[in-house]
Amino acid sequence: MTIAPEKNADNMVNEFIPFREMRVISPEGEMLGVLAKRDAIDKAASYGLDLVCVSPATVPPVCKIMDFGKHLYMMKKKAKEVKKKQTVIEVKELKIRPNTDTHDLMVKVRQAKEFLAEGCKIKLTVFFRGREAMFVDNALANINFIITELGGEEAMQVEKDTIIKNRRMTVMLSSKN
């Protein structure tokens, strides 16, 4: 029952195992001892299963007699479960201009509160067009206004400080909870 492993897989199976001698474990989990490669492969064939190297770093390497296809399936299933349990933090971007009106800033504050409630981080970007690059003070005032409306330094954490690059000013914010 020889299944060739994937080329970039870490699994070594049957003839693809590079070691001459290995410690072999039966499908039931009992130790069969240190066997030569050919003897171990023959033993696995007598069970109708594959010889899979599970611990190549030990001396001698440990191989187990098991169904390799089922082993791959279980490894993919575990990886899928781990990926499902990971939390992905989204970054939401709010775009304003240096001369944005107070009412429009309040709309952005409302959106930011919704994003923070969802657990997202906020990237606040101020765009400068043409001669607006002179109004850096207005842009900083707008950013500070939004931060204070969101709860100030007690509720907000500035992850990346204010950066001005390519006619844009950006700040990364997240909630402290």
pTM: 0.53
Element (H, E) at 115: helix 102-117
- Give the pLDDT of residue 88: 78
- Give the pLDDT of residue 10: 60
CB-based contact 35:21 (threshold 8 Å):
yes
Q: Which residue has the tokens 């699994």?
A: 11
For the purposes of burial, counting CB atoms within 10 Å of the CB of 114, is it exposed (0-12), middle (13-18) or buried (19 or more)? exposed
Domains in the chain (CATH in brackets) are 12-80 (3.10.20.80), 91-175 (3.30.110.10)
- Give the pLDDT of residue 63: 93
- Give the pLDDT of residue 87: 78
Chunked mean pLDDT (size 10), the chain, 177 residues: 46 86 92 91 92 89 91 90 84 92 93 89 92 89 90 82 88 85
- Give the pLDDT of residue 65: 93
Angle, alpha carbons 39-41-43 (nearest 5°): 70
CB-based contact 161:118 (threshold 8 Å):
no
CB-based contact 89:59 (threshold 8 Å):
no
